[in-house]
Amino acid sequence: MSDITRKTFGQLVDELITTNMRCWYAQENIMDETLSTEKRLEAAIRAQTQNAKRTELIYAIDAYLNNEEFSSVSKTYHTYFKGD
C-alpha cells in the first residue's frame, strides 16, 4: 500500500470499502467448516491483516475530516460456536 497520507478522500473511502469486503469474505471462510484447517487459518490471518488495514484507513479518513477524536474502531463480536 502506498503512503496513506498521500491519498485523496475518495481513494481512502474506496480502499475502505474494498478492505471491508475482503475482511468480510475472509471471516466467512474462517467459519466455513467445509474448508481445511489450513485454509481456515489462512483466512484468519487474512481477516486480521485486513482489519488492521481497515483501522488505519478509518483513522486516516477521520484525520482528513479533522474528526480524529470520534474514531470508532471497536469490534462487535458474534460467535457461531455452540453453547454461546
pLDDT recorded at residue 71: 59
Domain span at 9: 4-65
Tell me whether residue 75 is in a domain: no
pLDDT recorded at residue 54: 94
- Count the domains in the chain: 1
Cα 54 versus chain centre, distance: 4
- Dihedral of CA 44/47/3/68: which sign? negative
**CB under 8 Å to 5, separation ≥6 — which residues?**
60
CB contact at 8 A, 67 and 15: no
Query: Per-residue pLDDT tens for 25-75?
Result: 999 999 999 999 999 999 999 999 999 999 999 989 988 888 766 555 555
pLDDT recorded at residue 51: 94
Tell me whether residue 50 is in a domain: yes
CB contact at 8 A, 43 and 84: no
